[in-house]
Structure 1
Amino acid sequence: MHSYYIKTLTNVLKARQADVTPLFNNSGIQQDDLTKELSLTAQQLDTISTNAIKMSHDPQLGLQLGASMDISSQGIFGYAIITSTTIGDALKLMVRYNKALMPSVDVKMLSRAGRVEVLIKAPHLPSSLERFYIELLYAAIMRSGRTLIPKGRTSVHVEFDYDAPYDKTPYQQLFGAKVKFNGARSVLSFDEAGLDLGIATANLVARDIFRRQCDRLLSRGTRTGMVSERVQEVLLQSGTEFPNSGQVAKQLHMSESTLQRRLAAEGHKFQALLDQLRNSLAHEYLTGTQLSINEIAALLGFSDAANFRRAFKRWNNRTPIAVRSSKT
């Protein structure tokens, strides 16, 4: 879940010619873990972020990191956002998933005086870490917004509750000229009417699918590190096309034979894990969407509806139509 964040953070530090080895001090994470799908606890994330601040000697590190976040590279979370119907819909998802990805931070959305405000607080953290997270999340929202919002179509205001830096230029480049410091609170706000703007990449069916997968990922919490769990996460993040065992093994930086052997040691087989995930998603699509059987079959990687029906009946001893009819 946090792999993209850590990889982007290390890239930002490396661009500053920094040795990233101390980044993981006291976190329980090793540099070799970057080759895996990471899901960090709040404490681990806070420790790594604190180490990064100390290494960089730069109070604006969070701003640079957030501005480096590419929505199209954030896997299933990015897909869920760019397929949203409106800017407001996408913003709600950003806030929801940012809160899940940054568990030490309190993120809220409020409507007031014709504007939608995003408030971020973490008063229990050291001020330098709280500032890091605030600037990171606001910058990431702005970076994502530039992908979604046509320039000049909605107004953005930002206010920070700390002193102005010596050089305001990075803030003005990201948020516009009217950045306010020494405010009563830290808040990023948008014109409420502008949030009704449609998104060119909107896709209602895809949005619902990706949101369901995001929610499943977020509900998993911190993984125990078992290979079977890592395989399930790779499959779940794959979008609408499931990789085969060789492709999954490559993503996990091991040979296919090693993957199969380690799964067997945990009492699993790759095909069984894939079938389990397909079956779970099939139930969600059948009971929670109006997708046709043909569309569901295609989304689950079957060559045709007949093959899907046979597999579904083998898994459940019931037909897809029977499951759908039982929910109507």
Structure 2
Amino acid sequence: MSRKLPLFNERIYAPYKIAALVEVLAEQGIAPADSLKGSGITEDQINDATTLTSVRQYATVCGNAVSLSKDPATPFKTGARLHLSAYGMYGYALMSCLSLRDYFRLGVKYHALATPTLTIEWQEYEDRAVWTFPDASTPSPSREIKQFWIEQQFTQHVTHLQDVFGQSCPPTKACFSYPAPAYAHLYPDYLGCPCVFDHPQCELHYDSAILDQKPHLAHRLTATVLQETCERLIGQAKVSAGIAGEVYQMMMQTPGEFPSMEAVAEHLHMTTRSLRRKLQMEDTSFAAIVDDVRCSLAVEYLKTTVMSTDDIALLLGFSEPTNFRRAFKRWTGKTTKEYRQG
């Protein structure tokens, strides 16, 4: 399971990752002004809860770290101090979930709330649970910054699982898609497991036996409330940004009467080809937006009305109720009956 990342320039994140990195660099004698150079962020702003930043701005600070720091442990040290409590609702939702399996699942589902620098996916196998990072091999924004992000991200995963579990829970293996760097000995020091380089992709492995374990702060009511809040935050970010946001809003205004791509393009004063290209630049498509709006409306109808699934299917434009039930299972992992029963 995976989720697409928000846009690189969207200023929608609190500056907690930037603050942690600037703090690590300051301990090395690097002035905050130098760490933040070119980012458009001041030292005062990184400690201001109202400041909103983008992944691009964080990438700029990471680029400064790569240039200025002489300590190869910088990304590991940054990841180790980024506890889940720094992540607001996203972090608390993960800490209160009811099993480590839920933690893995929700970590991916709500990852877009966490200033994401890498796409993450997870897969459960019979003997292991594996985080994968499918875009870790791409050289954007640069090979050096991407490796910095991977080192930090892997350390964050180890830190976060320890936060959730309430005790040390190291991976069984960490794999990297690049050659071992000169400081390769630091990897097992911070990750607590054997590390493999020149692997086909970046992966972090855990023993599947941990998945049924209960987090030490698990609480059913708290988990429900916080996960609903995360759903709203994801939705707000999704419908407020770029051309995709305008298309979402148009779709939500006329539920059950979804306009065609041609009609939407005409409303936005552009050709369908231009609309398709702009949505592609925002890492989505017209079909994906229609699918997502249908999912959001289906969830809302099931939670707040007593309409039958056949009526909901008709309202959402499905020709057959069975097609709707199949789609709902794909969207949520649950049947409509299971969803209504909670």
Letter of the 1:193 counterpart: A
Letter of the 2:225 counterpart: I
**Pair 1:64-2:77 in alignment:** yes
**Pair 1:166-2:166 in alignment:** no
Residue in 2 aligned with 1:141? 157
SS of match in other structure, 2:120: strand
**1:37-186 equivalence runs, <5 A:** 37-112=50-125, 114-120=127-133, 121-122=135-136, 123-125=138-140, 126-149=142-165, 156-186=172-202
SS of match in other structure, 2:174: strand
Q: CA deviation at 1:99?
A: 4.2
Take 1:100 and 1:150, find their aligned partners in 2: how far apart are those partners? 23
Q: Which shows bigger deviation, 148-157 or 65-74? A: 148-157
Q: CA deviation at 1:188?
A: 0.4
Structure 1 alignment gaps of length 5 or more: 225-283, 289-326
Q: Is the 8 A contact 1:116 1:192 kept in 2?
A: yes
Q: CA deviation at 1:152?
A: 7.2
**Pair 1:14-2:30 in alignment:** no
Q: Is the 8 A contact 2:54 2:115 kept in 1?
A: no
Q: CA deviation at 1:23?
A: 2.5
Q: Residue 21 and residue 128 in structure 1: after superposition, are their counterparts in 2 closer, same or farther (change >3 A)? A: same
**TM-score, structure 1 normalization:** 0.61
SS of match in other structure, 2:206: strand
**1:228-243 equivalence runs, <5 A:** none
**Pair 1:31-2:32 in alignment:** no
Q: CA deviation at 1:139?
A: 0.7
Q: Residue 163 and residue 124 in structure 1: after superposition, are their counterparts in 2 closer, same or farther (change >3 A)? A: closer
RMSD: 3.0
Q: CA deviation at 1:214?
A: 2.6
Cα deviations by residue, 1:116-159 (Å, 9 ceiling, x for unpaired): 21112241411111111112111111011122336577752111
SS of match in other structure, 1:117: strand
Q: CA deviation at 1:19?
A: 0.7
Take 1:198 and 1:36, find their aligned partners in 2: how far apart are those partners? 31
SS of match in other structure, 2:211: helix
Structure 2 alignment gaps of length 5 or more: 1-12, 241-299, 305-339
SS of match in other structure, 2:216: coil
Take 2:110 and 2:39, find their aligned partners in 1: how far apart are those partners? 23
Q: CA deviation at 1:194?
A: 1.6
SS of match in other structure, 1:189: strand
Take 1:56 and 1:209, find their aligned partners in 2: how far apart are those partners? 42
SS of match in other structure, 1:109: strand
Take 1:146 and 1:60, find their aligned partners in 2: how far apart are those partners? 20
Take 2:225 and 2:45, find their aligned partners in 1: how far apart are those partners? 29
Take 1:133 and 1:21, find their aligned partners in 2: how far apart are those partners? 21
Q: Is the 8 A contact 1:10 1:20 kept in 2?
A: yes
Q: Is the 8 A contact 1:94 1:141 kept in 2?
A: no
Take 2:230 and 2:51, find their aligned partners in 1: how far apart are those partners? 15
Residue in 1 aligned with 2:289? none
SS of match in other structure, 1:31: coil
Letter of the 1:138 counterpart: F
Q: Is the 8 A contact 1:87 1:199 kept in 2?
A: yes
Q: Residue 166 and residue 75 in structure 1: after superposition, are their counterparts in 2 closer, same or farther (change >3 A)? A: same
Q: How many residues align?
A: 229
Take 1:60 and 1:127, find their aligned partners in 2: how far apart are those partners? 17
Q: Residue 156 and residue 95 in structure 1: after superposition, are their counterparts in 2 closer, same or farther (change >3 A)? A: farther
Q: Which runs of 4+ in 1 moved over 4 A?
A: 150-155
Take 1:153 and 1:16, find their aligned partners in 2: how far apart are those partners? 29
Q: CA deviation at 1:30?
A: 2.5
Take 1:168 and 1:124, find their aligned partners in 2: how far apart are those partners? 20
